[in-house]
Amino acid sequence: MVDQKQNAKSFDMEFIDKIRNKKFFPFLCSLPILLLLLFYWIKAQYFPLHDFSNYFFGGLFSVLGKFDHQLYDALHFNTLIQNSGYQNIFASYYPNTPFLSFFFIPFAAFDPFVAKQLFNFISAFLFSFTLIRLFNHYEIKWEWLLVLPLIFFMSIKNNLLFGQVYLFIFFLLGEGFLAYKKGNKLSMSAFWSIAILLKVFPILLGFFLVLRKDYKGLAYLFFACLVLLISSGLFYGFENWIYFISEVMPKSSAGEIYDGFSTNSKSALVLFKNLFVADALANPQPIIPISILFTLVFILFKARLLGICGAMTLKFKEQPLIPFSVFLVVSLLISPTNSSYSKVFLIFPVLALLNSNAEKIPKGILLFIVFLICNLPQHYFYELPLLLRFPRFYFLLAFLIGFCFVFKSKIHWPISLAFLALFLFQALPGIIKNEKDQSEYVLIDAQNPILVSNYQFENGDLQIENWDNQGKHWTNSGINFTIKKIEPLSIKNNQVFLENKQITFGKDNKRQAKLINGNEVWYLSDKNRGFGFYTLRRVEL
């Protein structure tokens, strides 16, 4: 009986080995992820434009000669979309780079839904192409391809349904890395520079090259980025790039996305803001209302993460996939948003794990954590106490710690302290600045829309024009005032003036300033919010 069981087991192993040796075996293992991509590519045809509208209309307005820095203003962007004949679309070009709209110009020749499907097809094809090449290059068992559709299910699904760019950026990062491994720095710089100018965050790979003392590769990457920047700058005008670097990047890097405090962002930055920064509307009761602590804690957090990058890069000089993967994980941790679709980049550290000699138990635990990062429904946590609303961030941090444990690496303290000093120096002007803007919210006790586009009074009732997926519509705020007199005020250099007296001093964008009853100045402002996501503020005279 025992012999029969052993013979059956031996026969099964021989059959499996025969299948593995067949030429079609890699394709057989690739089939689940290819079918997943195909299924959601088809489903995306019946899904709203969603995030793809940001990219498509950026490209369309580039073709029409309407791209300028005002496109970062959500109200202006949506007004242009509506005036172009498209209804029931709510989009925001902020905080994308000018190059991204330049890149999407060819897609503007199509209907937006056709363009979305075309881009999704290209992205899915290139994503699967690079994924298979990475498996082949590192000689990872093809059976692991059967597991990836399960681990990265929501990330792949959301990329295609929303028309996001991250499958395409995975291709750029992966092909650039393979080119780098083969010593082809020219190809590497071409792929990575496109990724950097599309989404900025891969710029951390420049530090990766510095630590590896690959100054030639760094020079190639710098000049490739410069060529793309100049090309798009010549098309648009360099003032748009200057505006992006000086205005858009600082605002988005500070986590000012939509209302600036939304836990939907699921990021460390927004968690720290909610812990330490008070906002009368979005975060009236932080746990420790000392805003300087937010700056210091986040600086310390980033410096320590970059210290981990430094340690990994210096330790694994002959295995660049390991530090390359850590840089991508760190870029996800310090990003102002922690989206599901960007988690496809965790495929790189997963491949590093599968290519390692790590023990099965820690390897399995880390793979399960990645599954939770990608697939755990986040909306179940939004109504919980603050510290419980960020499971994706906690699991991502746990994965990084576990990854360092598996590869026996710690923090490189000299590098960490150097970045700490650099970040403190950068933050010093903001820490010591004297904020003169004493404005306050109007709609604290009323429903506050994500974007207020206008306001007026009817019989003393404050009427708010809200802009969302259904376009513009008026609602009663439920707030009543005794209105005696309303006078329009001028806005010069983005500041409100009453006669020749400057009333406001902040860098926020402002619209529709009015003097109410002679003693209050009201205006629309995006202070502490994403560009053009206006709400109503007032200053008492």
- What is the number of domains present in the chain? 2
Residue 471 has pLDDT above 80, yes or no: no
210-224 per-position pLDDT tens digit:
999 999 999 999 999
Tell me: do 525 and 455 sit in the same domain: yes
Tell me: do 69 and 163 sit in the same domain: yes
Q: Identify residue 267 by its one-letter amino acid code.
A: S
286 closest CA partner among 248, 297, 302? 297
* pLDDT in the model for residue 51: 92
* pLDDT in the model for residue 15: 45
pLDDT band at 481 (very low <50, low <70, confident <90, very high): confident
Tell me: do 326 and 409 sit in the same domain: yes
Does residue 535 belong to any structural domain of this protein? yes
Rounded to the nearest integer, the mean pLDDT of the chain is: 89
Does residue 5 belong to any structural domain of this protein? no
pLDDT band at 151 (very low <50, low <70, confident <90, very high): very high
Does residue 18 belong to any structural domain of this protein? no
The Cα 83–Cα 62 span in angstroms is 15
- In the sheet with 510-516, reading across from the earlier edge strand, the strands are 440-441, 535-540, 520-525, 510-516, 486-488
* pLDDT in the model for residue 282: 82
Residue 14 has pLDDT above 60, yes or no: no
Q: Average the pLDDT over 122-151 and give the result.
A: 95
Q: Average the pLDDT over 477-506 and give the result.
A: 87
Does residue 278 belong to any structural domain of this protein? yes
Tell me: do 110 and 55 sit in the same domain: yes
- Residue 508 is given by DSSP the state S
Does residue 237 belong to any structural domain of this protein? yes
Global pTM?
0.91
Tell me: do 345 and 480 sit in the same domain: no
Does residue 33 belong to any structural domain of this protein? no
Expressed as residue numbers, the domain containing 287 is 46-432
Taking a C-beta distance cutoff of 8 angstroms, is the pair 525, 453 a contact? no
Domain boundary among 432, 455, 472: 432
Domain boundary among 375, 409, 432: 432
56 vs 263, higher pLDDT = 56
Residue 1 has pLDDT above 70, yes or no: no
- In percent, the amount of the chain with pLDDT more than 90 equals 59
Tell me: do 185 and 90 sit in the same domain: yes
186 vs 466, higher pLDDT = 186
Tell me: do 104 and 217 sit in the same domain: yes
Among the residue ranges 13-27, 212-226, 318-332, the one predicted with the least confidence is 13-27
CA distances (Å), origin 375, targets 156, 181, 372: 10, 31, 5
* pLDDT in the model for residue 291: 87
Tell me: do 96 and 53 sit in the same domain: yes
Domain boundary among 381, 398, 432: 432
The Cα 3–Cα 5 span in angstroms is 5
Tell me: do 408 and 457 sit in the same domain: no
Taking a C-beta distance cutoff of 8 angstroms, is the pair 417, 318 a contact? no
Residue 319 has pLDDT above 90, yes or no: yes
Residue 22 has pLDDT above 80, yes or no: no
378 closest CA partner among 269, 265, 272? 265
Among the residue ranges 8-17, 56-65, 420-429, the one predicted with the least confidence is 8-17
* pLDDT in the model for residue 381: 87
Tell me: do 278 and 404 sit in the same domain: yes
Tell me: do 388 and 479 sit in the same domain: no
Does residue 124 belong to any structural domain of this protein? yes
pLDDT band at 18 (very low <50, low <70, confident <90, very high): low
Does residue 240 belong to any structural domain of this protein? yes
Tell me: do 390 and 308 sit in the same domain: yes
* pLDDT in the model for residue 11: 45
